[in-house]
Amino acid sequence: MILYGGSGHAKVIFDCLDARGITVLGVFDDNPNLRTFQNMPFLGAYNPQVLDKEKVIIAIGNNRIRQTLSQRITHSFGTVVHPSAEVSRFVKGIGEGSVIFHRAVVQADTYVGEHCIINTASSVDHDCILEDFVHISPNATLCGGVRVGKGTHIGASATVIPGVHIGEWCVIGAGAVVTQDIPDFSVAVGVPARVIRSIGNTGTKE
């Protein structure tokens, strides 16, 4: 496996891979000042010809950056689930490039899209749908039947009640309690969560 991005987020992905006995062969990073990362070989800026038979995980927490990089990387993408995570064998699917961290829970009939992050000790209950490039932050809880649109970031310790639909490219603040649907491109905070502003369509809806 190869990591793209020498960040704190990459350290956790490395730990997950190590716990699975998967060797990380190196790290791509476009930062010209980075020369080493976690004692792994530094591969420099992305080069499609370097270790081209190996899989890559984009080890960057920012959803839009992951989306942008995924469109230019020609390597195949890997996935990783930490051994301490509880992932139902009845999950409908986990898309390529996605990562599930320590003590996270993903329940039956949930679908996790591509390049998603299910972060430490978060909980995704039954029948949820997470579209591509979603990030569920540490200790966040999605109750059953929640749908989270493409590129949305659910903040740390936020809670989403059953059946709620959160749109694309939203930001749900840390500790928020989402009790009603949230439209695309919204920032919502508080208990109960209220939309405080729109962040605009700064990307294309695909």
∠ CA 98-102-105, rounded to 5° = 75
165 among known catalytic residues:
no
Query: Cα–Cα distances in Å, from 22 out to 25, 50, 80, 187?
Result: 9, 19, 9, 37
Q: How far apart are CA 22 and CA 13, in angstroms?
A: 11
Tokens 């369509």 identify what position?
A: 201
Q: How far apart are CA 116 and CA 152, in angstroms?
A: 10
Q: Are 193 and 175 a contacting pair, CB within 8 Å?
A: no
Catalytic choice (126, 135, 153, 165): 126
**Residue 102: what residue type?**
H
Burial class of residue 149 in the structure, from the number of CB atoms within 10 Å of its CB (0-12 exposed, 13-18 middle, 19+ buried): buried
Q: How far apart are CA 26 and CA 163, in angstroms?
A: 41
Catalytic residues: 126
